[in-house]
Amino acid sequence: MTKILIIEDEPFIRENLEDILSLEGFETLAATDGLVGIQLAQQALPDLIICDIMMPYGDGYDVITALREVPQTEAIPFIFLTAKADRASLRQGMTLGADDYLTKPFTPQEVLESVRARLRKATAQTQLYQSQIHHLSTELEFHRAHDALTGLPNRVALAACFQTLITRIRGTQQHLALLYFTFDQLASIRAALGSDLSVALVQQIGQRLTAASQGGGMAYISDHQFAMVMGPSPTLSQAQTWAEAVAQVFDAPITLEDHNLFLIPKIGVAIYPQDGVSFDTLLLEAEMAATGLPEQGDRPVSFYSTDLHQQVKYRFSMEADLHHALDRQEFQIYYQPQIDLKTQTLAGAEALMRWFHPVRGNISPAHFIPIAEATDLMVPIGEWVLRTACEQVQRWPHYPTNALISVNLSPRQFAAPDLRETITQVLAQTGLPPHRLELEITETVLMQDTSLAQHLLRDLKDSGIHIAIDDFGVGYSSFQYLSQFALSTLKIDRCFVHHLASRPKNQTLVAAMIQMAHDLGLKVVAEGVETEADLACLQSIECDIVQGYWYSPPLSAEAFEQGYAATPSATRQSLR
Ligand code: C2E
Ligand code: CA
Ligand code: CA
C-alpha cells in the first residue's frame, strides 16, 4: 500500500488531508512538527511526503534539507503545503528539492492530482533506475566472463559452465572432459597478421571449439591458450573418444582474407571425476598433460595420468643430462637422402641429430630439441651439428659435388648474434663451399624479427648458401610473406604428403603450393614420402625433390656412405 507522510502542525488541515488520502486507499502517517516529521520519514520511508512550511521545531525548509542529505530519503517525492504563495518562498522550496506546491486552501481534487502526478513520476524514475542497474549488472557480468577484445568466454565463464554441468550430473555415473589447448605457432602468427585479423583468428578458433564441445563450453585463456569442457558423457571411454577426436577440428585450414592457416594444437585432457573434481585442479592437470607433448608430434592429444609427475621429473633429469651430452660425445648425426625426381639422383642429405643416451638409449630429437631450445644449450649443440655435417660431406669420397647438405637451424640459433660469424668460420675450417650448404629454418623464425631476418637471409644467400623453409603448410604459410625473404627451397610438411595419393583435397593443395613456389623461383622438397603411390602423385604435380622412408630413413654416416656416397653415380634402383 502506498504510504504518505503528512507533516502539518494545524490539526484541522492535517486531519482533512488524512481523510482525503485514506478515502482514496492510501496509508497515511502524520507528524505535528518538523522534528517529528524528519524522524518519522527516516523510520517509515514513506512513498511521498506532504509538508507544511511554517511549523514549530523545524520548519518545512529544515525538513526537506535534512531529508535530501540522506540517500534513503533523498528521492522521496516532496510536496510543500503553504499559505505563502509568494515567488521567493516558492523558489526557495524548489531549490531545496521540492517536487510541487499546494497552496492553502486546497480542494481534494488538487491534492489527489498532485499526489498522483508525483507518484507516477517517482515510479517511472524507479523503473528507469532499476532497468539501468539491470543493464549495468548484465554488462558487468559479461565483462567478468568474457575476453574484452574477442568477446569469447574466459576462464570465469568456463568455470561457471563446469559448475552447472557438475550440478546436473551429480549422483549419476557421467563424465566430463576438461581440455587444454595450446597453439605454439599462434603468437608468431598473430604478430604477422596484425591485430584485426588476430582477433578474427582467435574468434574462429573459439567458434570451432564451441561447435566441438558436445554441449559443454570453451574459454579463451590467454594469447595462445584455450580450454574446453566437454560433455557430459555417459561413459569414460566416450569422453576419451570425444577428446581424441577434437584435434580433427583443426584439420581444415582457417581462412582469413587470403590466408589459409593450418594450426596444430597440443591438447591435454583431464577427466572428471577420475582425475579430480575441481575445475582448477582439472585445468592444471590438462595443462600438464599438454606440456609433456612433443613439438608438432603425430599425436596431439595427451591424457593426464598420475605418472605425469614422473614425466615432469624425467624432463628435468633429461635437461641435466643434456648439459653433458656434447662433452661425452653422445650425439651423432644421421643423414637422410633427398632425391631429385627428374634425374633420379642424389640431390642432397638432411642432417638429423640422434642422442644415444648411455642409460635411456636412443632419444628422439623431437623430445630433446625442444628442451635444448628452452635452455641455452641449443646454440652450442647446433654449432656442433653444423660443423660435423660439413666435415662429414667433405669426407665422403663420392658424394656428388652438386649435392647439398641440409642442416636445421632452430629459432634460438637464428637469433644468436654471432650466427653469421659461426657459419663463415665453419665453412672456412671445413673447406665446404657455401653453395653446398642448405640451412633449414621454419616460418616462426622469420616472424620473430622480420627486418633482421630479411637482412641475414639476404646476406647468407648472397654468399651462396641455400635457405629452405621447413615444415611448410603448418602455421602461417603465406606465399606473399615468403616472397619478402631470400629463400631457395620450400619443404612441404609431411602431414600434407602422408597418404597424398588417396586424398584429392591435399593433392590440389600441394599442387598449388608447388606451383606458387615455382613462381617464386623456389625448389620444392616433399618430406615424409613413404609409398610409391605418394611418390607418383608428387611426380605428376612436378615436385622437384623428395625425402622419406620410401627411399630411405635417416642413416648413420657409415650406412649413408655405403648406400649413397660410395659409388660415383647412383641409379634409381640403387637409390631405393
Ligand atoms: P624435420 O626437420 O621435419 O625432419 C624430418 C623428420 O621426419 C625427421 O625426424 C625424419 O626422421 C622424419 N622422417 C623422414 N622421412 C619420414 C617418413 O617418410 N615418414 C615419417 N613419418 N617421418 C619421416 P627426426 O629425425 O625424428 O627429427 C625430428 C625433428 O627434430 C626434425 O624435424 C627437426 O625439427 C628436429 N631436428 C633434428 N635434428 C635437428 C638439428 O640438428 N637441429 C635442429 N634445430 N633440429 C633438429
Ligand atoms: Ca628439417
Ligand atoms: Ca620438416
- What would the pLDDT profile of 92-117 be if each residue is shown by its tens digit? 888 998 999 999 899 999 999 999 99
Indicate the pLDDT class of residue 395, thresholds 50, 70 and 90. Answer: very high
- Which ligand is in closest contact with the Cα of 546? 1
Q: Which residues contact 461 (CB under 8 A, 6 or more apart)?
A: 467, 486, 487, 488
Indicate the pLDDT class of residue 571, thresholds 50, 70 and 90. Answer: very low
* pLDDT for 491 beyond 90: yes
Nearest Cα residue to 246 out of 160, 169, 177, 159 = 177
Nearest Cα residue to 531 out of 505, 491, 501 = 501
Measured in Å, residue 352 CA sits from the centre of ligand 1 at 6
Q: DSSP letters of 163-206?
A: HHHHHHHTTSS-EEEEEEEE-TTHHHHHHHH-HHHHHHHHHHHH
* pLDDT for 191 beyond 70: yes
Q: Which atom of ligand 1 is nearest to the CA of 353?
A: 38
Residue from 386, 408, 474, 555 to probe ligand 1 pocket by mutation (most atoms less than 8 Å from CB) = 408
- What phi, psi does 46 have (nearest 5°)? -65, 165
What CA–CA distance (Å, rounded) separates 227 from 158?
Answer: 8
- Which ligand is in closest contact with the Cα of 352? 1
- Which ligand is in closest contact with the Cα of 336? 1
Q: Which atom of ligand 1 is nearest to the CA of 471?
A: 3
Most confident of 258-267, 308-317, 419-428: 419-428
> What is the predicted pLDDT for the residue at 574?
61
List pocket residues of ligand 1, CB cut-off 6 Å.
336, 352-353, 364-366, 369, 382, 385, 408, 410, 470-471, 494, 527-530, 547-549, 554
Q: Which residues surround ligand 3, an ion (CB under 5 A)?
A: 470-471, 527
Cell of 276: 579430480
What CA–CA distance (Å, rounded) separates 56 from 30?
Answer: 15
Residue pair 439/456 in contact (Cβ under 8 Å)? The answer is: no
Nearest Cα residue to 64 out of 101, 29, 28, 15 = 101
* pLDDT for 124 beyond 50: yes
Nearest Cα residue to 218 out of 299, 161, 283, 133 = 161
CA-closest residue to ligand 1 atom 8: 352
Q: Which atom of ligand 1 is nearest to the CA of 334?
A: 25
Measured in Å, residue 50 CA sits from the centre of ligand 2 at 88
CA-closest residue to ligand 1 atom 17: 528
* pLDDT for 569 beyond 60: no
Question: Is 0.75 topped by the overall pTM?
Answer: no
Please give the residue that has the higher pLDDT: either 317 or 559. Answer: 559
- Which ligand is in closest contact with the Cα of 495? 1
- What would the pLDDT profile of 422-465 be if each residue is shown by its tens digit? 999 999 999 999 999 999 999 878 877 778 889 999 999 999 99
Cell of 271: 577427466
CA-closest residue to ligand 1 atom 10: 554
Please give the residue that has the higher pLDDT: either 243 or 477. Answer: 243
> What is the predicted pLDDT for the residue at 215?
84
Residue range 252-272: average pLDDT?
Answer: 89
Q: Which atom of ligand 1 is nearest to the CA of 493?
A: 3
CA torsion sign for 334, 322, 447, 528 is positive
Residue range 525-554: average pLDDT?
Answer: 97
- What would the pLDDT profile of 552-567 be if each residue is shown by its tens digit? 999 999 999 998 866 5
What CA–CA distance (Å, rounded) separates 391 from 510?
Answer: 35
Indicate the pLDDT class of residue 572, thresholds 50, 70 and 90. Answer: very low
Measured in Å, residue 378 CA sits from the centre of ligand 2 at 15
Residue from 339, 350, 352 to probe ligand 1 pocket by mutation (most atoms less than 8 Å from CB) = 352
> What is the predicted pLDDT for the residue at 567?
59
- What would the pLDDT profile of 134-159 be if each residue is shown by its tens digit? 888 788 788 889 998 899 999 999 99
pLDDT, averaged across the chain: 90
> What is the predicted pLDDT for the residue at 155?
93
Residue range 277-287: average pLDDT?
Answer: 90
* Kind plus residue range of the DSSP H or E element containing 466: strand 466-472
SS3 446: helix
pLDDT > 70 in the chain, percent: 96
Residue from 527, 529, 538 to probe ligand 1 pocket by mutation (most atoms less than 8 Å from CB) = 527
The pairing of beta strand 3-7 with beta strand 361-363: unpaired
- Which ligand is in closest contact with the Cα of 388? 1
> What is the predicted pLDDT for the residue at 445?
82
> What is the predicted pLDDT for the residue at 295?
59
Residue range 38-57: average pLDDT?
Answer: 94
Q: Which atom of ligand 1 is nearest to the CA of 550?
A: 18
Please give the residue that has the higher pLDDT: either 478 or 82. Answer: 82
Residue range 462-474: average pLDDT?
Answer: 93
* Kind plus residue range of the DSSP H or E element containing 287: helix 279-291
Measured in Å, residue 284 CA sits from the centre of ligand 2 at 33
Measured in Å, residue 317 CA sits from the centre of ligand 1 at 23
> What is the predicted pLDDT for the residue at 359?
86
For residue 273, cis peptide bond before it (omega within 30 degrees of 0): yes
> What is the predicted pLDDT for the residue at 31?
96
